[in-house]
Amino acid sequence: MTDKTHKYIVAAIAIVAILWTLAGLLTLVYWSGLALWVCAAVAAVAFVWMLRVYLRPTVAAEVNPPSASR
């Protein structure tokens, strides 16, 4: 086996190993983490919505501010 052939074989094996590892990592992230990310995104959107809806000032409070004389 020549030196050039040996380099090509090692390079091909390395590329296959790298692709195999990346595919495994992507599969792991997809199957184990996707549901977690979706739940976290839903929770974040719900939290922001609650802050906007329940903590906004009411119209009555803006029109009739509480007076200190009463």
Q: Domain residue spans in the chain? A: 3-63
Query: How far is Cα 49 from Cα 69, in angstroms, rounded to an integer?
Result: 36
What string of pLDDT tens digits covers the 70 residues of the chain? 788 999 899 999 999 999 999 898 788 777 777 777 788 889 999 998 888 887 776 665 556 666 665 5
pLDDT of residue 66: 63
Q: What is the DSSP letter of 1?
A: -
- Residue whose pair of structure tokens reads 């094996």 in the numeric block: 13
The confidence score (pLDDT) of residue 19 equals: 94
Task: List Cα–Cα distances, 8 to 21, 66, 67, in angstroms.
Answer: 20, 82, 85
Residue count of the chain: 70
